[in-house]
Structure 1
Amino acid sequence: MAKRVSETDRARTKAWWLPPLVLSALALVFIFENRAETSIRVLVPVVTMPLWAALLGIWLVGVVSGLFLARRRRR
């Protein structure tokens, strides 16, 4: 017997990407609004770089980690 899928379930399945998209857009606005220079300690050396570059790097690590974990969970 086939399982019936309601319209609500279909809409929820289609819009799974909306919350991550909104959060990413807000994160990118926050990142590019912070343009000051900052000093960051990377293990031993101290690196001076724009804050937006450091935040963007951490955001990219988070996105890649999230995609990797989501892919592993599907299998």
Structure 2
Amino acid sequence: MSPKTTASNRGRGRARGHRQWDDMLTPGRVIVGLLAVLALVFIFENTRTTKIRLLFPEVTMPLWLALLGTALIGAVCGAYFMKRR
């Protein structure tokens, strides 16, 4: 037997394409997930309406919608710049 197929190594290899929780839950992903949950809690706690002025028009809308829109625009911009790296 070659060293790669000894009895101690059998059963330890993962099937191709199979991911374990250790690979999926990296510290960076956990932190980003927690920050996303905190951002959503912050957004949905601010439900009152507010006036927002865009260049010329003034709009009245729920604050949570404005915060969610801003967060989505920021996420799209961040993803775009990380993709270009």
Q: What's the TM-score bracket when you normalise by the shorter of the two chains?
A: 0.7 to 0.9
Does residue 71 of structure 1 match 2:83? Answer: yes
Instruction: Name the one with the larger helix percent.
Output: 1
Partner of 1:44 in structure 2?
Answer: 56
Matched positions, count: 62
Alignment root-mean-square deviation, CA: 1.7
Distance 2:40 2:81 in 1: 22
User: Percent of counterpart pairs with the same letter?
Assistant: 51
TM-score, normalising length: structure 2: 0.66
Q: How many Å apart are 1:35 and its aligned residue? A: 0.3
- Secondary structure in structure 2 of the residue aligned to 1:70: helix
Distance 1:21 1:62 in 2: 16
TM-score, normalising length: structure 1: 0.74
Q: Structure 2: which 5+ residue stretches go unaligned?
A: 1-21
Q: Structure 1: which 5+ residue stretches go unaligned?
A: 1-10
Q: Residue type matched to 1:60 in 2? A: L
